[in-house]
Amino acid sequence: MRVVNLAEAFARFHEPWSPRIVGEVNDMHVKLARLRGEFVWHRHPAEDELFLVLEGRLRMQLRDGDVDVGPGELVVVPRSVEHCPRTLTDEVLVLLLEPATTRNTGNVTCDRTVATPERL
């Protein structure tokens, strides 16, 4: 068992859209990510994703309407829902909770795909 200091963990990386694993809960990964700009439209056919915004403002773009999320707020994107995260501030710091099998770009493979997230 270990304590994770979120500020110290975020200080260890600066690359956007490259989640880092900081813990595990059952078969779920707890990840931290820095977000900047717009990601890619994608879906996760078998996995839900939880985004907890720690700093900044995030817009979760959805085909049927966007959802804005601020510090201390979270949004759960249900499996199979196509979405595209976009920052409304220069940078957004998020904590993600998702199944360990979840690939950051879901059903899309591109230059932002992280096959094996680094552990902090």
Location of structure tokens 């998020």: 94
Give the pLDDT confidence score for residue 49 in this predicted structure: 96
Q: Which is nearest to 91 in space by CA: 50, 32, 40?
A: 32
Of 2, 30, 33, give the one whose Cα is nearest residue 17.
33
pLDDT score for 64:
96
Tokens at residue 55, please? Answer: 């700093």
For position 112, what pLDDT does the model report?
86
For 41-78, give the DSSP string: -B--TT--EEEEEEES-EEEEETT--EEE-TT-EEEE-
Instruction: Look at residue 110 in the predicted model and tell me its pLDDT.
Output: 87
In CATH, what number does 6-119 get?
A: 2.60.120.10
pTM of the model: 0.94
What's the pLDDT score for residue 71?
A: 98
Residue boundaries of the structural domains of the chain? 6-119
Say if CB 90 and CB 36 are below 8 A apart.
yes
Spans in the chain with pLDDT lower than 70: none
